Structure 1
């Protein structure tokens, strides 16, 4: 019996693939051919099932396992400390050690620093002329600078840091170039860690070392913070600005009622759900979901983008409603691997929406959304966003 072929590729920027929607409505748990990856996959599409799966550590996240669908991204030089790639008990120990760095209170204290970064990036945009690529001018520099400050990267190294992060985030770049950029970042962070071992400072790496992290764990954590926190936030900044420029009625709502901005951030996170492969797992034993037995060794994909459009949870899910109260979305995942840096991302997005349009009221698209080059790999986003101001 021939199974339905599966693809994670989107065909339009404002919604999940049609197949994913159909699976949610007709086959909430499905066994499909994933020819793009040379195998098959089980998909889980309903909100409640996705949350249950992401909470169950029998769906393994350990990318060091050759059977795991994310094994191709496994790198032994950075694996220790990359907590999204490991299972308990190592995951529990390391996540517990670092969670205190990302509390709401601690991240809120970063607001003045992030506001300065956003203002300085807008200043640089204005100084560059009256038009350009918003991704290059704004979306990439803001999150990489925030992370550089968190890691206490010397300012003289910011250009190197941003350049390598940009190459790694460029899905159109040759794989060899992306791998070299990743290794350059790992090597650079290793020098930071070695410097903190010798001369501790007031930064995340120093505090993790003092709390018992090994050198290798600290290197992996630094690499994770840059790679995971940089590209996803960059993509969300671009998509938020795109939709607000493309749908001026939404922008007017925020202009007239700035108090809607935090709710708008949650709704846009739900709406776009950009972490395409965040729900990939490996079943380590036979597991049952909705009466279906998923055999041990199976690749399983929690379709978070479809879960966030589940009409049983989000009525009229394709409509953007800034008053929805969508904080129960799963754009940051769920369970033990829920995104550690979500409070940083939220704050960055809120500050961007507070400041960008106030300072650049004439900001506008210079290309149709249908013409924009969208990303088709691990995180959904835009390669370029041509704008004028």
Structure 2
């Protein structure tokens, strides 16, 4: 059977476990790491589910990240020009130019210096939970405020605006909302950030947006970069904190290990990122020329979607990959992507999760779910998978 004879399949979305990829998605990987994919717009492309194939696509310059290749594996999407400054939809050298502006802002050393402030924010949220009293929604009281406060402070966005950007980030990422709603939110976010950028340019302060505003970028480029950092800087970590807590409370043996060995939190965060892989509909690339991948011929112009969740559960890379083992070394996971587009803010996310998970499990030794596990609603149609609410008690 040739590559073109393969029957395209729709991207599987039905989960039988809230912490695992859809079984049909895993079955596709086990059959072959590269499959034909039917996109909702009627076109066909490719779905990469194996770890080695994923790494190959994410590092091969023949697979482009440019915005014109964007397709949604699930839900409706109308192609639009990439906004200036949104460098995840660029290839080198344009991508390199923008990324250099931010790499130095998110170094391990800078994030280490920020850690005391993250500790303080986390302690304040724990105190607020105690004051409110059991039970609470962990998403609203803990998982969402911590990264929102941190990214606002880091970028120099007034925290009183957090409800605005949380609302519009969610509308851009959740396919429950229409394309028109997503575009409206993009426009409102761009307008808000352009106003803020201009204000920073007139009166710079010691924050990231001030440095972006005075770096020589245009208003559009600066606001596009800011939108990317603001949305990605809170949404992903918030989803991991909520879903990760749900996971820990559902795995008492692993939770006990974390409580008994607080120093294990670093490795535990890496394993939870591997195990959960919240980027649920994959990373998209477009072939700029014919490429041979795992015996499949991908033609120039065809679109490839890389599934991180199945790649991170590949038995060729991890022993017993469907088992959560907070003691394992999971450093080779792809949860932050791979190659030149690997998440620029990954060190910030790591510090936030290490502090937040570590302080949460030590502050509430008897933390437990305050709802039946089957009643916990997950974001089935959001680009970033997670829980919508997480009632907990202590």
Runs of 4+ in 1 over 6 A off after TM superposition: none
Shift in CA distance, 98/121, structure 1 to aligned 2, threshold 3 Å: same
The alpha-carbon distance between structure 1 residues 180 and 95, as it changes in their structure 2 partners (threshold 3 A), is same
Q: Map 1:231-270 to 2 at 5 A.
A: 231-270=235-274
The 1:73/1:339 distance shift into structure 2, 3 A limit, reads farther
Q: Distance in 2 between matches of 1:185 and 1:384?
A: 25
User: What's 1:286 paired with?
Assistant: 290
| Correspondences of 1:155-166 after superposition (within 5 Å) | 155-165=159-169
Which of 5, 13, 29 is the equivalent residue of 1:24? 29
Does residue 133 in structure 1 map to residue 133 in structure 2? no
What is aligned with 1:14? Answer: 19
Structure 2 residue aligned with 1:69: 71
Q: Name the structure 2 match of 1:303.
A: 307
User: Counterpart of 1:110 in 2: which secondary structure?
Assistant: helix
* Match 2:209 to one of 201, 205, 209: 205
Identify the match of residue 33 of structure 1 among 34, 38, 50.
38
Q: 1:126 to 1:168 in 2, by over 3 A?
A: farther
Comparing 195-204 and 125-134, the one that deviates more: 125-134
Equivalent residues of 2:189, 2:227 under 8 A apart: yes
> Is this contact kept in 1: 2:6–2:36, CA < 8 A?
no
- Identify the residue that residue 278 of structure 2 maps to in structure 1: 274
1:53 aligns with 2:85: no
Whether contact under 8 Å (1:144, 1:161) holds in the other structure is no
Asked whether the equivalents of residues 171 and 375 of structure 1 are also in contact (C-alpha less than 8 Å), the reply is: no
1:281 aligns to what SS in structure 2? strand
SS in 1 for 2:10: coil
Check conservation: 1:140, 1:230, Cα contact below 8 A: yes
Measured on the aligned residues, the alpha-carbon RMSD in Å equals 2.2
Structure 2 Cα separation of the partners of residues 236 and 281 of structure 1: 24
- Cα separation, 1, equivalents of 2:197 and 2:80: 18
| Distance in 1 between residues matched to 2:347 and 2:316, nearest whole Å | 27
Q: Distance in 2 between matches of 1:217 and 1:137?
A: 33
SS in 2 for 1:260: helix
User: Does the 8 Å CA contact 1:278/1:333 hold for their aligned counterparts?
Assistant: no
Distance 2:20 2:41 in 1: 23
Unaligned runs of 5+ in 1: none
Structure 2 distance, partners of 1:273, 1:47, is: 13
Which runs of no fewer than 5 residues in structure 2 stay unpaired? none
